Structure 1
């Protein structure tokens, strides 16, 4: 009886470890093609004008994006972003979010990559610490920027429509 319980306990432990490994390994390089959904020109109308993101594929595993604000006939660049593979990992960067020591853009490592979007994190970043892009369908995309800045928790949600 004791051996049977020990065997069951070991089997349950192995199943738990396998499930944990599968849950943590949610970014597979074979799924990088899902990022192609970000390509295009995305806009969001606000009281202050139109915010737009324009994304272009620049290589097999790299994309560049630009955020702009359009008011009347004028457009103002707000920021540049990149998605890219380095080694066995995928990263997201925003030009305005820089490492205070090196001056280089902070890297947000993709932790989840699915057909509906991705989650990129860098818990050491001052703000944001988490970036989430989600495709509701072929013409609607949400971009979330989340994190703490000092004692304040901030979240910016941009709801874009493909043009």
Structure 2
């Protein structure tokens, strides 16, 4: 498989995984049920809490990418980074697809999940918007990862 097809295969696989995780395991609602009580402990700063939590998820993915790059460099082939980045991408993709504004309606479904989990109308907006900023950057990182592994 050449580099371009590998990028497509990884991208389609991650999209299918995110859809499966949401449809079969209700990952978006599960994340909301965990995130809402955690962020509401911060009171009016619930949006900042969502931002920090989302940033920690992104930093964890970045650390995995760094470990993968070190491993690939030591072994002489960028594909070795998949030993670390494969599981990291599988773990991070459902979080990104839940928190980032990747659907045509923006945060509509995510905010519904947050409200079902107990967030009030104003809190769901802050959690969605501020938590979505690092998640969107994480989406860009997820998109760039296969390009860096297979095409560079």
- On whether the aligned pair clears a TM of 0.5, the verdict is no
TM-score (norm. length: structure 2):
0.24
TM-score (norm. length: structure 1):
0.23
Q: With a CA cutoff of 8 Å and minimum separation of 6, indicate the structure with the bigger relative contact order.
A: 2
Larger radius of gyration: 1
Which protein is richer in strand relative to its size?
1
Which protein is richer in helix relative to its size?
2
